[in-house]
Amino acid sequence: MPNDVKTHYRACNLCEAICGLEIKTQGQQVLSIKGDKNDPLSRGYICPKGTAMEDVYTDPDRLRYPVKRKGDQWVQIDWDEAFNTVAERLVAVQQRYGADTVAVYAGNPNVHNYGSMTHGGIFRKTLGSKSNFSATSLDQLPLHLACYSLYGHQSLIPIPDIDHTQYMLIIGGNPLASNGSLMTVPDVPKRLKAIQQRGGRFVVIDPRRTETAEIADQHLFIRPGTDAYLLMAMIQTLFAENLVNSGHLNDLLEGVNEVQAACLPFTPELAEQHTGVAAEQIRRLARDMANIEGAVCYGRMGVSVQVYGSLCQWAIQIINILTNSLDVPGGALAASPAFGYVKPGESGSGHFNAWRSRVSGLPEFAGELPSAALAEEILTEGDGQYRALVTIAGNPVLSAPNGKQMDKALSGLDFMVAIDFYINETTRHADIILPPTSALEHDHYDLAFLRLAVHNTARFNEPVFEPPQGTLHDWEIFNGLAVALAQCKGAEVKPLPSPDKLIDLGVQRGPYGAAAGHGLALTLDKIKQQPHGIDLGPLKPSLRDRLCTDSGMIKLLDDYFLADIVRLSEASPKVAPDELMMIGRRHIRSNNSWMHNSHRLVKGKPRWQLLMHPDDLSARQIEHGSRVRIQSRVGEVVTEVLASEEVMPGVVSLPHGWGHQRKGVSLTIAAEQGGVSCNDITDNKLVDQLSGNAALNGVPVRVFATD
């Protein structure tokens, strides 16, 4: 092998699994990308996304330097001009219309880049606007709200101890496609099969027979948007059959009797009427959770993005609490990361409903408003109307509900700047685009997903390639914008040091640092000396010492969750005879809307079609493989339909993130793909009323044959 061939070890940051990689390079060329067999978390596993890191690095469509719009063209500018222009334009809008008329939207990729997480705050603080939005409210907000309510901190999230569980109930999750989600679980196929090999079982409840459901011991179809009835009936059964056992947490619980009273009307028979799951089967689920030692209930995207998403996530936590499945081996345990260890007194706990959106009155959470409200806040005239927007690695035109409304809103802004390295469906509306370096060109320490991992590890990633001269990392862009904004406001701001220095401080003060008296006396330098990562051990019970509530107790039923239970009890959901319920779907080669310009990830059979049960096709005289028109309250799209018994009757499935054939988009490979954006027909008014999270599943639609 030539002497100039180098071997690098790092983690993939293209999804939540953060699998360890072995990357061989020669000069500026990637020779191979394989799984790192010595990574203590991923154990050599790699999915197709890992090898696609090369595609992002070499992508000719990726921007390297700032550009500004000049008519229908983009022209390159230098960083000083970019920072000064952005600062002057944003400050001018704030001075004329008010500080909060400049909004900020952060997309999903931000949590995959530690520079954005460590330095985004200095930009937001200097900007001084309360109009903050992110992909959180298109995804996991209900779980954060439930954990904030129960445990006192939005990031104190119990994770399924999948390596030791004997019974796993998965509701609305498809970890074989997602590699885990709010459960960092690389090598999930082996981990799920290991449950069965040690004599355990796992059950999947989903309106579609997903990849995970295919290998499960049991799959139960459920009507979209009705999961809350099933979960409440499980809780009711636990009380009705004297199955409640909260184990060592019993003395920490407040409100057990109140939960029992609130759940009393939700019988399994009522749940059967709404869900289609047999009453006796619901009772069996509750009994299994209660009677099997080392059981855990896990709910993900499918239960979050619906009209009772917060109530679903609350109920899942309650089921784990009442069946001695919380804070026990094999159940749900809080991770103990080297950085970001949640304990009393830590910042970032969150707050809820401190203010509401101007138009629809949706509540804020942790300083952010629900993204379903962003477009209407731009389009609705009056005091407080948004006039400018900053997007940070976000594509709300494809990701947020009613994407056509979002498209219209962005086209009418006074000014827009995007921190992004693609000209996509959203950033094409920007006046200036500021591109950061790609993942292989900067170092990285995973801040978000090590806090959610099924095994405690720590790993620092050195850059694989030196960034080209004149390019900037995301944290350098945030520092530059903050300095320029401060100058325009007649103030000063001191740039933050590089992310690794900030992380080192956190690691030293963390649970494995000298300050905590741990024998490792861990520092970032020690982590850097272990290129495969450091094994910090399995998840362990720790919740008693980590509750962040004011009382130090687990308050089971906050008033706002009780009100939502009442809302559910008074609801009478009806589906018109010709309506179908639309859900999304995930594929292992995709991650939201930002993976479709990689030739490795889009090759093979197309996967953007609408899935529809053969009985529903026949009833509408629609042929398999034909073009159909899908219509909702907010619009319609036309795409190809496939007959599939993966979905239950009455349900159609359209995947998220497609629809790249739009004027001004510079994504060559993505634009060649078929498909439409499912969010052109999701409804911005269809939200979880408690949290404001978008209801992207269970959307009523009608499907027609095209002429």
Cα four-point dihedral sign 424, 427, 433, 437 = negative
Q: Is the pLDDT of residue 601 over 70?
A: yes
What CA–CA distance (Å, rounded) separates 151 from 321?
12
CATH code of 36's domain: 2.20.25.90
> 27 and 109: one domain?
no
595 and 634 both lie in a single domain? yes
- The number of distinct structural domains making up the chain is 4
pTM to 2 decimal places: 0.97
| Domain at 302, CATH number | 3.40.228.10
Q: Is the pLDDT reported for residue 175 higher than 90? A: yes
CATH number at residue 634: 2.40.40.20
Does 91 share its domain with 226?
no
Measured between alpha carbons, how far is 706 from 644 in angstroms, rounded to an integer? 19
pLDDT at 346 over 90: no
The confidence band for 62, taking pLDDT boundaries of 50, 70 and 90, is very high
Instruction: Please state, in angstroms and rounded to a whole number, the distance separating the CA atoms of residues 228 and 314.
Output: 10
Task: Give the dihedral sign, CA 146/149/150/151.
Answer: positive
Residues 168, 295 share a domain: yes
Average pLDDT over all residues of the chain: 96
Asked if residue 503 and residue 561 are part of one domain, the reply reads: no
166/489 Cα distance (integer angstroms): 59
Q: Are residues 597 and 623 in the same domain?
A: yes
- From the list 365, 433, 448, the residue with the least C-alpha distance to 109 is 448
pLDDT (mean) for 106-129: 96
Asked which of 128-137, 389-398, 598-607, 691-700 is least confident by mean pLDDT, the reply is 598-607
- Which residue, among 394, 416, 435, has the nearest Cα to 135 in the 3D structure? 394
Assess whether pLDDT exceeds 60 at residue 336.
yes
Task: Indicate if 481 and 564 belong to the same structural domain.
Answer: no
392 & 423 share domain: yes
Residue 319 and residue 201 share a domain: yes
Q: Give the contacts of 668 (CB within 8 A, at least 6 positions apart).
A: 60, 61, 597
Give the mean pLDDT of 122-148.
Answer: 98
Predicted confidence at residue 229, as pLDDT, reads 98
Over residues 342-351, the mean pLDDT reads: 92
CATH of the domain at 501: 3.40.50.740
| Residue-number span of the structural domain to which 161 is assigned | 155-339+543-568
Instruction: Kindly state whether residues 299 and 223 are assigned to the same domain.
Output: yes
The residue assigned the tokens 């995973």 is 446
Tokens found for residue 85: 């222009």
Residue ranges of E strands in 230-383: 253-254, 295-299, 332-334, 352-356, 363-365
Q: Are residues 605 and 675 in the same domain?
A: yes
Task: Give a yes or no: residue 345 inside a domain.
Answer: no
Residues 109 and 160 reside in one and the same domain: no
